[in-house]
Structure 1
Amino acid sequence: MTELANRWRRLAGAGLLALLAAAPAWAQTDIVPPEAATGRGTRDVERATRFMVAAANPLAAEAGREVLRNGGSAVDAAIAVQLVLTLVEPQSSGLGGGAFLVHYDAATKTTTTYDGRETAPAAAKPERFLAANGKPMPFYDAVVGGRSVGVPGTVRLLEFAHRKHGSLPWPRLFEKAIRLADTGFTVSPRLAGLIALDKHLKSDPAARAYFYDAEGRPLAPGVRLKNPELAATLKTLAERGADAFYSGLIAADIVKAVAGHPTNPGDMTEDDLKGYAVKERLPVCGGYRVWTICGMGPPSSGAIAVQQMLGVLETVDLASMGPGSLDAVHWFAEAGRLAFADRALYLADPDFVKVPVKGLLDPRYVRSRARLVDPKRSMQKAEPGNPPYQDTRVYGASEGIENGTSHIAVVDAKGNAVSMTTTIEDGFGARLMVRGFLLNNELTDFGFAPVADGKPVANRVEPGKRPRSSMAPTLVFREDGGLHAVVGSPGGSAIINYVTKTLVAILDWGLDPQVAIDLPNFGSRNGPTELEERTEAEGWKAGLEARNHPVRVLELTSGIQAIVATGNGYIGGADTRREGVAIGD
């Protein structure tokens, strides 16, 4: 293990990308098959002196850079990136989904978080995802169709953030996306591979007409694809703002698609759309060694779980262990077990459940959890703790994840930053296409069973409620309050481990962001210790099993974006497991 750690240090010192093999991904939704994979080659860390943007697709990243070159703010750039991602990465995010945005204002050194998570319709009931026999529905029986669609939040979030932090006129931010939708873009190997793998996309006539050729074959890589319906939608939003999405013809068409699904209709109404509101929430911040880590609070579980893991890891000297050491992987997995146990019991929409955020992050409580870790033997499964400052009510546990997700990281010329994770939940969402964009299936992030062990589940479906998320858009600050790093990832509940791994690699092991991102993924979600297939992590299996770890080797396809501030500007990286890039000037 020592030689592996030393090799990672040499790679970091040389500023080179970790030489990890690309891996096929059959077990997750938002993954390309091997024949469509773009591959993971050698890539140097990206450097810039003025500003930087990292996004999941080169066309989207370029849209953000164009905005920054024209004097746009970090929020302006994030909006341009999101609009292009709606077109070129439709399986992961878009106008029909939701997002969390963490913003840093360099002038005032303040951090603000914005909750654009989707909401359940007013008619939603806790038993929404129970079958006729009273048991939870099979996942895709719930996903495909209108039943799973939450009221989208992304468009309102983008406008809300622009009004507070935008510099350029709103319509200018749409120009690149409109142009690409009108003139077409080249279908990437990743998008083509995902279309080919999907079993449900053809069921929607609009999606079938767009994603398949006249003979019903999935689009091939390299095909030029235009989306005139999306171009028209974007033009309307550019001219009339978000109100044109939440009322009028677009809203009517969304409701028609949701309610009119032939086998699995939903109950969203135009009033649900008209009533949607973005929530400005307090950031969740905590210390880690000499840094301050800030992120999105509930209904996201991401920041709390990441900071709980870091709080446990802070009790040991990770720097001396080094990347790839068995001790580091053991502690990381045990910290994950503890954090995910608390996450499952306590985390939900804070407008419906009193989430004990202060207690979950209380240093004494976290240290007491750390003392449960045996340095030489895995606990295998952690039980939730009993944090201070909690409500007397106790809720049962349930799980919800998102797979169709993307992340955007931006730092502008003034030092303002955005970390935004954006999603439509499953790959291709509910498989419903309206006016050129896909609708989310975010309501399946709620717990399907409303009661567990005789207690109401915290994350059960309720009218107007926002489902729990794992998204973890993160900002890191130096001791003087200045920005140090912007980090985030897609990947369902594994987002928490992906983000924590990257933070540890940057902060404890001193790796540049590209090397940090491309380290093998690993960790536990309070089940098996998971190791990324076809990477050097496979070599850790025997040693972990000797420490009582149940081990599972599988695809762990993150999509991490990271930007780190230096004395000379910024260095950035994007996950080579996907198509992303970091670029800047």
Structure 2
Amino acid sequence: MAPCRTLASAALAWLLVAAPQAGWTRGPQPAAPAVAQEDRNPEAASGRGAHSLAHASKHMVATANPLASEAGQRMLRKGGSVMDAAIAAQLVLNLVEPQSSGIGGGAFLMLYTAADQTLRGYDGRETAPASAGADRFLKGGKAIPFDDAVNSGLSVGTPGLLRMLELAHRQHGKLPWATLFQPAIDLAEQGFPVSPRLHTLTAGNRALARQPAAAAYFLQADGSAWPVGHRLKNPAFAEVLRAVAAGGADAFHTGPIARDIVAAVRGHAVPGDLSEADLRGYQARERDPVCGRYRMYQVCGMAPPSSGGIAVLQMLGMLEQHALREQQPASLAAVHFFSEAGRLAYADRDRYVADPDFVDVPVKAMLDPAYVQARGALIRPDRSMGEAAPGDPAGLLAQRGVDATPELPSTSHLVAVDDDGNALSMTTTIESEFGSKIFVRGFLLNNELTDFSLSGTDDAGRAVANRVEPGKRPRSSMAPTLVFRSGQPYMAVGSPGGSAIINYVAKTLVGVLDWNLDIQAAIDLPNFGSRNKATELEEGTAVATLAPALQRMGHAVQVLPFPSGVHGIVIQRDGLLEGGADPRREGRALGD
């Protein structure tokens, strides 16, 4: 188990600036670009309007679905901790937003405890089966098509969510474990209304219909999606939840449930090799967060195997030297600088980040202030650099292969603050939309192993750090983030969105910390950025009109749906809480 990191010791870690500014002042408030209701991403917003900033004085939770937020709020009202709220909300998300997360997947969690001023990172990332080899996704020496890899038993990693939640609850829960399962059990037995987003995604997913167990639950007899508002019941999932509520995570990782998971994976038309031993042997891990200074703030994120914490800190460090806070939100200059910083951060991410239990990840070198400064100096104010080359902070460049593994835009995120001032940020996933589509006992299994490099080596024959190995955790971009001001928690934030998570979280941080927007206004900002390919602009928003000007600066531009799912809470100096939920999804921030 990794040692706990107190906030005081975290403050010494890899500072991105020499020292924080003296004092704190709230500068003039730049106006946020108007983003009308009809400009929202139709895939995610389903016709709903923007949310209002939520306020509370005692506690708050924000998740991607109102029913999940209500479950978390119920635990907080019972005197529960942020950990209790997160578990209750997650289990309901598994039921009402099954395409994004659940007990068949994994998560990363950042938790601050006020009593001892300690910050912890929890790793519930899935692992490759013990029999997994580097040729897992190869046929004839070449990588198989990505969709074929996803929709197969080969893509399923050993789930880690319940082990992680159990570990964190044992240390930080206040309410009994079984109590946290009741909201999801009740909804599973009594039924819940199919939401617009679940209907839209179910109707548009052809692969789901090809899996008999999944089709029997998600689709009507004629193969069409259940209509919006249909009351969908899941007694099989309720039975699983009752077993885990009574027997802990062991009830999932051993015994009949584990046997059924293995049978479903191995019985797929393209069978996988997950075993009962893999499930039985899974262990969640504690990992020291990665932290750095940004202006007067301390920003802390998840360590590898997630690349999110490192990449967000790199981007902030590069942007600081280009005075981004002096630019108008979502202006041409802001989008240019932000996108160029993203290119550089993603170039490093793709080359160096993987499971640190298997590969040397040069975290300290990647976050060294001199290195970040030198990388940021490559950004020209008037011209895009095109595709950025990775740096060489630790002399490893010649040894590391290029990894272009995609991460598809699914996943979910939640944040919470409790009565005691504890703060939590958790990003949770089954990987792409509906995961592997393998449905067992009322829940979906992940396709997380497609986050590994499918080939294992690059065109030059160099081994990719993020290649498949037995027991290894695939690289992630999940970026649950906590921000501190004067040593106290100030902001909890994160997002789903595959590899674009890094840009979504960095944009929201810049919106609050640089542009002095409230958390809802920062979330509402149009999405933009680069993953070291095209500069991506959210379709139907104000930034889409910047495409011609960006092209004249040398940017290759794509205007496309760019559906984040950011949720965040800001804690003001007087202790009042302000919460925001992404209008591109169905979430709500609720508090008392």
Q: Under TM normalisation by the shorter chain, which class is it?
A: over 0.9
- The answer on whether the counterparts of 2:427 and 2:495 sit within 8 Å (CA) in structure 1 is yes
The one-character-per-residue Cα deviations of 1:333-352 (angstroms, maximum 9, x if unpaired) are 00000000000000100001
Task: Give yes or no for the alignment of 1:365 onto 2:371.
Answer: yes
The one-character-per-residue Cα deviations of 1:53-76 (angstroms, maximum 9, x if unpaired) are 000000000000000000000011
Q: C-alpha separation between the residues in 1 aligned to 2:233 and 2:28?
A: 46
The aligned amino acid for 2:142 is K
1:309 to 310, 315, 318: 315
Q: C-alpha separation between the residues in 2 aligned to 1:325 and 1:562?
A: 23
- The answer on whether the counterparts of 1:53 and 1:410 sit within 8 Å (CA) in structure 2 is yes
Q: Give runs of aligned pairs for residues 63-82 of structure 1, distance below 5 A.
A: 63-82=71-90
Q: CA deviation at 1:568?
A: 4.3
Aligned to 1:9: 30
Worse-superposed segment, 564-573 or 151-160? 564-573
Q: CA deviation at 1:398?
A: 3.4
Aligned to 2:135: 127
Task: Give yes or no for the alignment of 1:296 onto 2:313.
Answer: no
Q: C-alpha separation between the residues in 2 aligned to 1:241 and 1:445?
A: 28
2:91 to 83, 91, 94: 83
Q: C-alpha separation between the residues in 2 aligned to 1:278 and 1:203?
A: 33
Q: C-alpha separation between the residues in 1 aligned to 2:525 and 2:32?
A: 11
- The answer on whether the counterparts of 1:400 and 1:446 sit within 8 Å (CA) in structure 2 is no
The change in CA–CA distance for 1:522 and 1:20 in structure 2 (over 3 A counts) is: farther
- The answer on whether the counterparts of 1:259 and 1:265 sit within 8 Å (CA) in structure 2 is yes
Identity of aligned residues (%): 57
Q: CA deviation at 1:175?
A: 0.7
The change in CA–CA distance for 1:460 and 1:388 in structure 2 (over 3 A counts) is: closer
Q: C-alpha separation between the residues in 1 aligned to 2:544 and 2:37?
A: 12
2:103 to 73, 78, 95: 95
The aligned amino acid for 1:376 is D
- The answer on whether the counterparts of 2:32 and 2:525 sit within 8 Å (CA) in structure 1 is no
The one-character-per-residue Cα deviations of 1:223-276 (angstroms, maximum 9, x if unpaired) are 000000000000000000000100000000000000011x21000110000000
Q: Give runs of aligned pairs for residues 137-148 of structure 1, distance below 5 A.
A: 137-148=144-155
**Any idea what SS the aligned residue of 1:21 has?**
helix
The one-character-per-residue Cα deviations of 1:295-350 (angstroms, maximum 9, x if unpaired) are 10100000100000000001022222120221111110000000000000001000
1:336 to 328, 331, 342: 342
Task: Give yes or no for the alignment of 1:470 onto 2:477.
Answer: yes
Aligned to 2:410: 404
Q: CA deviation at 1:389?
A: 7.6
Q: CA deviation at 1:108?
A: 1.6
**Any idea what SS the aligned residue of 2:411 has?**
strand
**Any idea what SS the aligned residue of 2:470 has?**
coil
- The answer on whether the counterparts of 2:82 and 2:424 sit within 8 Å (CA) in structure 1 is yes
- The answer on whether the counterparts of 1:398 and 1:449 sit within 8 Å (CA) in structure 2 is no
Task: Give yes or no for the alignment of 1:497 onto 2:518.
Answer: no
Q: C-alpha separation between the residues in 2 aligned to 1:393 and 1:352?
A: 15
Q: CA deviation at 1:582?
A: 0.5
The change in CA–CA distance for 1:7 and 1:529 in structure 2 (over 3 A counts) is: farther
**Any idea what SS the aligned residue of 2:252 has?**
helix
The aligned amino acid for 1:49 is S
Aligned to 1:28: none
- The answer on whether the counterparts of 1:294 and 1:474 sit within 8 Å (CA) in structure 2 is yes
Q: Give runs of aligned pairs for residues 322-333 of structure 1, distance below 5 A.
A: 322-333=328-339
Task: Give yes or no for the alignment of 1:164 onto 2:181.
Answer: no
- The answer on whether the counterparts of 2:37 and 2:47 sit within 8 Å (CA) in structure 1 is no
Q: 5+ residue gaps in structure 2?
A: 1-26
Aligned to 1:273: 279
Q: CA deviation at 1:391?
A: 9.3
Task: Give yes or no for the alignment of 1:240 onto 2:247.
Answer: yes
Task: Give yes or no for the alignment of 1:253 onto 2:274.
Answer: no
Q: C-alpha separation between the residues in 2 aligned to 1:431 and 1:568?
A: 43
Aligned to 2:468: 461
2:361 to 336, 355, 358: 355
**Any idea what SS the aligned residue of 1:386 has?**
coil
Q: CA deviation at 1:404?
A: 2.6
Q: CA deviation at 1:394?
A: 3.0
- The answer on whether the counterparts of 1:103 and 1:416 sit within 8 Å (CA) in structure 2 is yes
The aligned amino acid for 1:60 is A
- The answer on whether the counterparts of 1:359 and 1:390 sit within 8 Å (CA) in structure 2 is no
Compute the RMSD of aligned alpha carbons: 1.7
Aligned to 1:218: 225
**Any idea what SS the aligned residue of 1:193 has?**
helix
The aligned amino acid for 1:347 is V
Q: How many residues of Structure 1 are paired with residues of Structure 2 in the alignment?
A: 564
The aligned amino acid for 1:180 is L
The change in CA–CA distance for 1:323 and 1:8 in structure 2 (over 3 A counts) is: farther
Aligned to 2:68: 60
1:417 to 414, 423, 448: 423
- The answer on whether the counterparts of 1:294 and 1:303 sit within 8 Å (CA) in structure 2 is yes
Q: CA deviation at 1:395?
A: 3.8
Q: Give runs of aligned pairs for residues 557-568 of structure 1, distance below 5 A.
A: 557-566=563-572, 567-568=574-575
- The answer on whether the counterparts of 1:54 and 1:408 sit within 8 Å (CA) in structure 2 is yes
Worse-superposed segment, 57-66 or 448-457? 448-457
Q: C-alpha separation between the residues in 2 aligned to 1:18 and 1:414?
A: 36
Q: C-alpha separation between the residues in 2 aligned to 1:330 and 1:100?
A: 30
Q: CA deviation at 1:20?
A: 5.0
1:539 to 541, 545, 562: 545
Aligned to 2:583: 576
| Alignment TM-score, normalising by the size of structure 2 | 0.93
Task: Give yes or no for the alignment of 1:19 onto 2:19.
Answer: no
Aligned to 2:185: 178
Aligned to 1:115: 123
Task: Give yes or no for the alignment of 1:553 onto 2:559.
Answer: yes
Aligned to 2:143: 136
Worse-superposed segment, 312-321 or 570-579? 312-321
Q: C-alpha separation between the residues in 2 aligned to 1:390 and 1:454?
A: 15
- The answer on whether the counterparts of 1:39 and 1:576 sit within 8 Å (CA) in structure 2 is no
Q: C-alpha separation between the residues in 1 aligned to 2:355 and 2:50?
A: 41
- The answer on whether the counterparts of 2:292 and 2:300 sit within 8 Å (CA) in structure 1 is yes
- The answer on whether the counterparts of 2:399 and 2:462 sit within 8 Å (CA) in structure 1 is no
- The answer on whether the counterparts of 1:530 and 1:551 sit within 8 Å (CA) in structure 2 is yes
The aligned amino acid for 1:424 is I
Aligned to 1:203: 210
The change in CA–CA distance for 1:24 and 1:371 in structure 2 (over 3 A counts) is: closer
The one-character-per-residue Cα deviations of 1:365-412 (angstroms, maximum 9, x if unpaired) are 000001111111000110000114869843433324143300010011
The change in CA–CA distance for 1:440 and 1:8 in structure 2 (over 3 A counts) is: farther
Q: CA deviation at 1:548?
A: 1.1
1:151 to 155, 158, 178: 158
Q: C-alpha separation between the residues in 2 aligned to 1:268 and 1:557?
A: 32
Aligned to 1:3: none
The one-character-per-residue Cα deviations of 1:444-496 (angstroms, maximum 9, x if unpaired) are 00000111111111111100000000100000000x21000000000010000
Q: C-alpha separation between the residues in 2 aligned to 1:389 and 1:570?
A: 45
Q: CA deviation at 1:8?
A: 8.3
- The answer on whether the counterparts of 2:327 and 2:334 sit within 8 Å (CA) in structure 1 is yes
Q: CA deviation at 1:18?
A: 4.6
Worse-superposed segment, 397-406 or 276-285? 397-406
The aligned amino acid for 1:77 is A
Q: C-alpha separation between the residues in 1 aligned to 2:38 and 2:493?
A: 23
Q: 5+ residue gaps in structure 1?
A: 1-5, 26-30
